[in-house]
């Protein structure tokens, strides 16, 4: 069924061996697995191709499959407001090299999503404009949504930061 989708047809024609259509028995959203080195090109194509126009990145997250190789899967949910269609992209990453290119040049809104994934899973986004923790404090050790993160781990104490003038 997914191969009938015009987006999937265009992706297969343009990227061939760099992508794989993934069947999902749980929902009707078309899903494509993308090779790590092609994610930026695939996203740029989906965003700029006139009749596709995926102008909204609804979500970017990560899944930790601790007992699988590759261990991590970065997941992108994209939507075309004008055309009303959606697609899910998935990229698998090895535990020894959990890095992938940033897509902030395609969707500015990816900035905070990528920072959140970095914060909680330790996935590094190459060429990100400001890759630092977004929800946890800078001294926090580790990445708490990894499945091997100890539930009873104590974090270091830090001196309370002084308020900056004009900031509350």
- The predicted-structure confidence for 4-13, as pLDDT tens digits, reads as follows 789 999 999 9
- The predicted-structure confidence for 48-60, as pLDDT tens digits, reads as follows 998 999 999 999 9
pLDDT given at position 163: 59
pLDDT given at position 164: 57
Number of separate helices (H) and strands (E) present in the chain:
3, 7
Question: pLDDT class for 71, splitting at 50, 70, 90?
Answer: very high
Could you give all domains of the chain from N- to C-terminal order, each with its CATH number? 2-126 (3.30.460.80)
The answer to whether the pTM exceeds 0.85 is yes
Residue 1 has pLDDT above 50, yes or no: no
pLDDT given at position 165: 55
Residue 74 has pLDDT above 70, yes or no: yes
Does residue 117 contact residue 93 with C-beta atoms inside 8 Å?
no
Does residue 51 contact residue 64 with C-beta atoms inside 8 Å?
no
pLDDT given at position 23: 85
């Amino acid at each position: 069924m997914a191969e009938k989708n015009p987006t999937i047809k265009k992706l297969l024609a343009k990227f061939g061996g760099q992508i794989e259509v993934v069947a999902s028995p749980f929902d009707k959203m078309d899903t494509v697995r993308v090779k790590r080195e092609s994610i930026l090109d695939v996203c740029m194509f989906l965003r700029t191709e006139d009749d596709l126009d995926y102008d909204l990145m609804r979500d970017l997250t990560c899944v930790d499959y601790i007992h699988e190789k590759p261990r991590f899967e970065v997941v992108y949910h994209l939507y075309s407001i004008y055309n009303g269609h959606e697609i899910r992209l998935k990229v698998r990453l090895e535990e020894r090299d959990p890095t992938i290119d940033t897509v902030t040049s395609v969707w500015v809104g990816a900035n905070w999503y990528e920072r959140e994934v970095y914060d909680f899973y330790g996935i590094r986004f190459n060429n990100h404009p400001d890759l630092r923790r977004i929800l946890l404090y800078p001294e926090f050790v580790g990445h708490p949504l990894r499945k091997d993160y100890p539930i009873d781990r104590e974090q270091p104490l830090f001196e309370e930061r002084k308020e900056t003038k004009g900031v509350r």
